[in-house]
Structure 1
Amino acid sequence: MVEMTWLQTIVLSVVQGLTEFLPISSSGHLLIVSRLLWNDDAGASFTAVSQLGTELAVLVFFFKDIVRIVIAWFAGLVHADKRGVDYRVGWAVIVATIPIGVIGFAFRDLIRDRNLWLTAIVLILFSGVFWLAERYATQRRSLDDVTMRDAVAMGLAQCLALIPGVSRSGASASAGLFAGLDRESAFRLSFLLAIPAVFGAGLFSLPDAFEPSVEGLSASGWQLLASVVIAFVVGYAAIKWLLRFVAHHSMNWFGAYRVALGLVLIALLATNTIAAS
């Protein structure tokens, strides 16, 4: 176990903030950067705690929407005539959180086993999912049309993000596109669906982040706090940019980047420039 430096804390936190919402895999990027620059692993626990900062960015960015959804959900429980769009979105968040909560807890030990060969392969292969989602998406539906079927599909897809290289937003947004949602609505809903899951993972991993049970970088309490703050600031800016970008551009741009990164990573692994695990 190696103590994390402040330079590592800052770099990894910026990477987390930049990549959490883009469909390029934040966990994969954290793993690649930490191995390439320092021949070590930031660890699944540090990754989960740093994600608290990006999820705080979601809370702030969508604060009005979240408050409206919560109020509508409680109102809909009492009055059937108030079960509108926000009430359905509230249930969608709850339903979509169940699969990743169950699977994440059941396979928590496997999640900590992080191999860069797997990350490289997943980065490339999952780009094909983006292409298929864009190719066959009708984009005829918005958040006003969200259903429980959408919630289940996006919730199950979100579970794939437990594999470094997949991307939480990419997986769930792709499922939304396959379901017929327009691109911006799919990404907005994917951000909302991630809030309970990521906060839960971050809080659950907090004790392990202070005393990791596996080899890797160990962050202090102040470094974890700084990581949350940095990831929040960078993540907030990333959300604003991404929602503007996806309104006019396809996910194939990110798919091309993922393929290029995956191929570079395979070359680095094949030449022993970077350790696989």
Structure 2
Amino acid sequence: MAVHSLLLGVVQGATEFLPVSSSGHLALAQWLLGFDEAPLPFDLVLHMATMGATVLYFWRDIVDLVLEWLGGFVSARGRWSEGWRYGWAVAAGTVVTAFPALGLKPLVERMIHLPWAVGLALVLTASLLFAAGRLPRRGGQVVLSSGFFVGLAQGLAVIPGLSRSGATIVTGLATGLKSEEAFRFSFLLSVPAICGATFLELRSVGSWGDFTAALPSGWLVGAMAAFATGYFSLVLLRRVVTLGRWRGFSLYCLLLGLGTLALSVVRG
């Protein structure tokens, strides 16, 4: 069971941030490899571990931007800061995320058990990543409209096989953000969304005793693996976005999606 927890942690950490869809990979792993679905408490632990990697990676940005945003409430000068723009863009994006994410929940619960649907979503991800490599390089900054469009993409990316990081970064680039800003905003916007989703799921677990009792053996190893691979994936993805080298991930998602579609037809 410890090995199983370790593998799930590695899959979660790597695919949560790289533009290949963690939910799609986990759904396919259950279908192809016979992996049991992770208990909800362990799934929450893995998501908290990857969120911890995000916070550690962006901690300086988070502190500086939050302080600047709060400063805008007490100083007119503060309303011209980067943190003021970012704060309202993240707030708008978080609100917008909730509508498609909650509305698509019944569909998502069905798609997890439909490999062909996950395959189609992976092909869509491949198309988005291919398009990203052809977008012109621009130098735009994060504004309120950035939050709206990127938040909408984040909400739609609850669909298994549709990469959250890929959809949000490509949307940011399409709205004119420079590469570094699209990368940074994508993951800063993910923090409140993951916190909110985790809180809602925690309410359905029950007491703290129920939560800990449901954790599998080796859960700590899995969490550490998710944290470490998640942090490394952020380092790698930043380089990919900055250099515009999406082709490898696009080809990977395309082959995986088409392979899944073909295998689902063969298996019936």
Query: Which residue of structure 2 aligns with residue 269 of structure 1?
Result: 264
Q: Which secondary structure does the structure 2 equivalent of 1:253 belong to?
A: helix
Work out whether residues 46 and 209 of structure 1, in 8 Å CA contact, stay in contact via their aligned partners in 2. no
Query: Which residue of structure 2 aligns with residue 10 of structure 1?
Result: 6
Query: CA 1:206–1:49 in 2, change beyond 3 Å: closer, same or farther?
Result: farther
**Cα distance between partner residues in 2 of 1:86 and 1:40:** 43
**Cα distance between partner residues in 2 of 1:80 and 1:188:** 26
Query: CA 1:197–1:22 in 2, change beyond 3 Å: closer, same or farther?
Result: same
Unaligned runs of 5+ in 2: 208-212
Query: CA 1:43–1:27 in 2, change beyond 3 Å: closer, same or farther?
Result: farther
Work out whether residues 137 and 179 of structure 2, in 8 Å CA contact, stay in contact via their aligned partners in 1. yes
Q: Deviations over 1:114-167 (max 9, x none)?
A: 1211110110123222223332x232225xx21111111100011121100111
Mapping of 1:1-277 within 5 angstroms?
5-38=1-34, 40-42=36-38, 47=43, 49-83=45-79, 84-113=81-110, 114=112, 115-135=114-134, 137-142=135-140, 145-206=141-202, 208=204, 220=215, 224-272=219-267
Query: CA 1:195–1:222 in 2, change beyond 3 Å: closer, same or farther?
Result: farther
Work out whether residues 93 and 148 of structure 2, in 8 Å CA contact, stay in contact via their aligned partners in 1. yes
Q: Which secondary structure does the structure 2 equivalent of 1:77 belong to?
A: coil
Work out whether residues 85 and 142 of structure 2, in 8 Å CA contact, stay in contact via their aligned partners in 1. yes
Work out whether residues 30 and 47 of structure 1, in 8 Å CA contact, stay in contact via their aligned partners in 2. no
Structure 1 residue 24: Cα displacement: 0.6
TM-score, length-scaled by structure 1: 0.84
Aligned amino acid, residue 87 of structure 2:
G
Runs of 4+ in 1 over 6 A off after TM superposition: none
**Cα distance between partner residues in 2 of 1:210 and 1:265:** 36
Aligned amino acid, residue 131 of structure 1:
F
Query: CA 1:262–1:101 in 2, change beyond 3 Å: closer, same or farther?
Result: same
Structure 1 residue 210: Cα displacement: 8.0
Unaligned runs of 5+ in 1: 212-217
Query: CA 1:31–1:199 in 2, change beyond 3 Å: closer, same or farther?
Result: same
Structure 1 residue 43: Cα displacement: 7.0
Aligned CA RMSD, in angstroms, stands at 2.5
Structure 1 residue 85: Cα displacement: 1.1
**Cα distance between partner residues in 1 of 2:27 and 2:87:** 33
Aligned amino acid, residue 132 of structure 1:
A
**Cα distance between partner residues in 2 of 1:238 and 1:244:** 10
Aligned amino acid, residue 67 of structure 1:
V
Aligned residues: 260
Q: Which secondary structure does the structure 1 equivalent of 2:101 belong to?
A: helix
Q: After superposing the two structures, state which structure 1 stretch, 200-209 or 153-162, moved more.
A: 200-209
Structure 1 residue 188: Cα displacement: 1.4
**Cα distance between partner residues in 2 of 1:112 and 1:146:** 33
TM-score, length-scaled by structure 2: 0.87
Q: Which secondary structure does the structure 1 equivalent of 2:187 belong to?
A: helix
Work out whether residues 41 and 214 of structure 2, in 8 Å CA contact, stay in contact via their aligned partners in 1. no
Work out whether residues 89 and 143 of structure 2, in 8 Å CA contact, stay in contact via their aligned partners in 1. yes
Structure 1 residue 44: Cα displacement: 7.5
Q: Deviations over 1:21-65 (max 9, x none)?
A: 111101111111232222543477754542221111010111011
Work out whether residues 125 and 162 of structure 2, in 8 Å CA contact, stay in contact via their aligned partners in 1. yes
Q: Deviations over 1:199-219 (max 9, x none)?
A: 2212322355689xxxxxx95
Aligned amino acid, residue 119 of structure 1:
V
Aligned-pair identity in percent equals 37
Query: CA 1:36–1:198 in 2, change beyond 3 Å: closer, same or farther?
Result: same
